[in-house]
Amino acid sequence: MSDNGSKKIELPLTITVRELAQRMEASPIQVIKILMTNGVMANINQQIDFDTAAIVASELGFEAIQESGPVEEKTESGEVPLWRQLIAKESSANLVSRPPVVTILGHVDHGKTTLLDAIRNTNIAAAEAGGITQHIGAYQVEHKGRLITFLDTPGHAAFTAMRARGAQGADIVVLVVAADDGVMPQTREAVAHAKAARVPIVVALNKIDKPNANPDYVKRQLAELGLVPDEWDGDTMVVPVSAKQRIGLEDLMEAILLTAEAADIRANPSGTVIGTVIEASIDRNRGVVATLLVQNGTLETGDVIVAGTAYGKLRALFDFRGRKIRSAGPSTPVQVLGLNEVPGVGEIFNVVASEREARLIVEQRKQKESSEAIRAPKASLEELFARVQSGEERSLRLVLKVDVQGSLEPIINSINELEKGDIHIDIIYAETGNISESDVMLASASKAIIIGFNVQADPASRRLAEAEGVSIRLYDIIYRLTEDLEKALKGMLAPETRETVVGRAEVQMVFSISKVGNVAGCRVTQGEIRRNGRIRVLRGDKVIFEGEMASLKHLKEDVREVRAGYECGVSLRGFNDFAPGDILECVVVEKVS
């Protein structure tokens, strides 16, 4: 460790051995020897991370301080997104107002796409005979001499995918609610996603031209969600519109600009270039084509960028109309050519000095991904509590899914009664229905865990939860749910168990055998059915039984397992009510280390 007399040295997140030696005016051989002593084998041109460089610096009498920079920084849930942190470091004298970036969320069939089309056609296509020549995932419109950027990717899944990667594509969310339909499950889900991202919400009350429209009823529903209309002395602008009749579009634009003024949306066009990947694909003729949203600085043709593990020198830039441009400033959506591979949606990109530097950064990221198995730390109850106790977190965040509306309020009340002292339980989303992929993405982006009561998570949601490092805990008795949360708050929770669905089989026929009962004749469709696994019987989307297997047979022989593509006979302890079409899930329960 360095003492009070040590010299301070600023080091980047990654640095070559040669450059580290030069900065400390030491011999590269001396640096390599110290690395070897600490178990790191590196040559003179190899990149090492900040922590490793800090150890070397300490042994040579320096105190290492991390340089500020955009690459590889992480953000925790509830914190300001990475690019906003970067802008906060810019001199206020260099910051100028930029166009607000808007995304549109809401329930399916409430008119999100129709509203986007109406805004686009009113503001752009009328001025051009050919309209928009291509779809690039984002476009800009002008209102009273001011630009607004719209992300043409409606849906909270894409919105939350960006936030889960530390980005935040939008400054403002326009929540579309149909005046004839009111608040629906996806509406509540969209509100939860927007609130979790701490993005201001403007409500577009759509379909007001319909004879059965009931705006006042919908406003009452919105108020119950915490979106109290401004006309009721609240702070949410609710704008009546009709996307099909093109009514209220001007008012909606005005509301967006007023919200943007209050949010103080600024950037430095001459500063560090950083932004977010909006869309990306491979074009047969042009190669990798990516749509980027510039959020600070000015992106130019010929710049070398890094986005995740994709990099390249930009050969060409196109605006949202498909016209070739030389540069793009803050809040400008731009389509680019020149990347070596397709970057992920929501990846943060930044400009680097050379392709060589870009390759080094990407190589280091790939090595890190392989060593960490591309896994974020799991947000288990135990770990969340530990972070609260250490002061890193101020609340335990939950996504709650229950079977019926009648269970929802009692469970929420029971959970809220558990709060003690400074520890706050934050239920960021509570709704009825099985656990979906959208729930998993919300939990991932918010560093929350998912609590399920009398519901299930389908295989796709479980796979996504595993990939995103999200913990799902399922209960069928309320007191066990509250007991676990109370134990977590006291730091007494028993080790978490993880359920893994190792196989699925479909019941083809049901046989009645004397002294045995009913046996399900099944065909294994996925994975394998194991004799020592628990069997969950699903009829439609409901679990009608879960228990132990009594016997597993293949061609009259007792077997330990049956794999996909083969047929088997299954009998269960305490269950005979099989029906053709039932799905049997084989579940293995393991302790999470």
Report the C-alpha gap between 411 and 413 in whole angstroms: 5
Res. 117 pLDDT band, cuts 50 70 90: confident
| Three-class DSSP category at 581 | coil
| Three-class DSSP category at 445 | helix
Least confident of 41-50, 177-186, 584-593: 41-50
User: Which domains can be identified in the chain, with CATH numbers?
Assistant: 7-66 (no CATH), 99-264 (3.40.50.300), 274-371 (2.40.30.10), 381-494 (3.40.50.10050), 499-591 (2.40.30.10)
Tell me the pLDDT tens digit for each residue of 335-378. 999 999 988 877 889 999 999 999 999 988 887 766 554 444 44
- Comparing 447 with 162, the larger pLDDT belongs to 447
pLDDT at 133 over 50: no
pLDDT of residue 311: 94
N residues, the chain = 593
Residue with structure tokens 């406003």? Answer: 219
Tell me the pLDDT tens digit for each residue of 456-483. 888 888 888 887 778 888 888 888 888 8
Tell me the pLDDT tens digit for each residue of 207-236. 999 899 899 999 999 988 889 888 888 888
Q: Tell me the residue type at 463.
A: R
Report the C-alpha gap between 296 and 98 in whole angstroms: 9
Report the C-alpha gap between 232 and 251 in whole angstroms: 18
Res. 136 pLDDT band, cuts 50 70 90: low
Res. 123 pLDDT band, cuts 50 70 90: low
Least confident of 473-477, 490-494, 495-499, 574-578: 490-494
Res. 410 pLDDT band, cuts 50 70 90: confident
- Burial state string for 88-120 with b = 16 or more CB within 10 A and e = fewer than 16: eebeeeebeebbbbbbbbbbeebbbebbbebbb
What percent of the chain is predicted at pLDDT more than 70?
Answer: 82
pLDDT at 129 over 50: no
pLDDT at 423 over 80: no
Report the C-alpha gap between 376 and 446 in whole angstroms: 12
Closest alpha carbon to 384 in 431, 332, 329, 451: 451
pLDDT at 44 over 80: no
Report the C-alpha gap between 176 and 112 in whole angstroms: 6
- Comparing 160 with 469, the larger pLDDT belongs to 469
Closest alpha carbon to 263 in 96, 100, 75, 93: 100
pLDDT of residue 335: 93
pLDDT averaged over the chain?
A: 81
Q: What is the DSSP letter of 230?
A: G
| Three-class DSSP category at 478 | helix
Tell me the pLDDT tens digit for each residue of 268-287. 898 889 998 888 888 888 88
Report the C-alpha gap between 161 and 445 in whole angstroms: 7
Cβ burial of 373 (10 Å; 0-12, 13-18, 19+) is: exposed
The token pair that represents 405 in the structure block: 């509306």
The token pair that represents 159 in the structure block: 């919105």
pLDDT at 312 over 90: yes
Of all helices (H) and strands (E), which one includes residue 362? helix 355-372
pLDDT at 567 over 70: yes
Of all helices (H) and strands (E), which one includes residue 521? strand 517-530
Res. 116 pLDDT band, cuts 50 70 90: confident
Residue 570 CB contacts under 8 Å (≥ 6 apart), including other chains: 505, 519, 520, 522, 529, 535, 549, 551, 552, 584
The string of DSSP letters for 58-112 reads HHTTEEEEEPP-STT----TTSPPHHHHHHHTS-GGG-EE---EEEEEE-TTSSH
Of all helices (H) and strands (E), which one includes residue 191? helix 185-196
pLDDT of residue 75: 40
pLDDT of residue 70: 39
Q: How far is CA 424 from CA 98, 143, 193, 395, 593, in A?
A: 36, 43, 19, 4, 26
Answer whether 236's CB lies under 8 Å from 177's CB.
no
pLDDT at 131 over 60: no
The token pair that represents 319 in the structure block: 């605006």
- Comparing 241 with 84, the larger pLDDT belongs to 241
- Crossing angle of helices 437-446 and 459-468, in 10° steps, is 20
Neighbours of 230 (CB within 10 A): 12
pLDDT at 126 over 70: no
User: Taking residues 527-540, what's their average pLDDT?
Assistant: 91
pLDDT of residue 379: 54
Of all helices (H) and strands (E), which one includes residue 118? helix 112-123
Tell me the pLDDT tens digit for each residue of 336-348. 999 999 888 778 8
Report the C-alpha gap between 32 and 60 in whole angstroms: 12
Residue 385 CB contacts under 8 Å (≥ 6 apart), including other chains: 396, 488, 489, 491, 493
Q: What is the DSSP letter of 126?
A: G
pLDDT at 45 over 90: no
Neighbours of 7 (CB within 10 A): 11
Give the pTM: 0.60
Name the β-bridge partners of 231.
none
Least confident of 18-32, 339-353, 426-440, 481-495: 481-495
pLDDT at 77 over 50: no
pLDDT of residue 128: 40
Report the C-alpha gap between 493 and 389 in whole angstroms: 14
Tell me the pLDDT tens digit for each residue of 242-274. 988 888 999 999 999 999 888 878 888 988 899
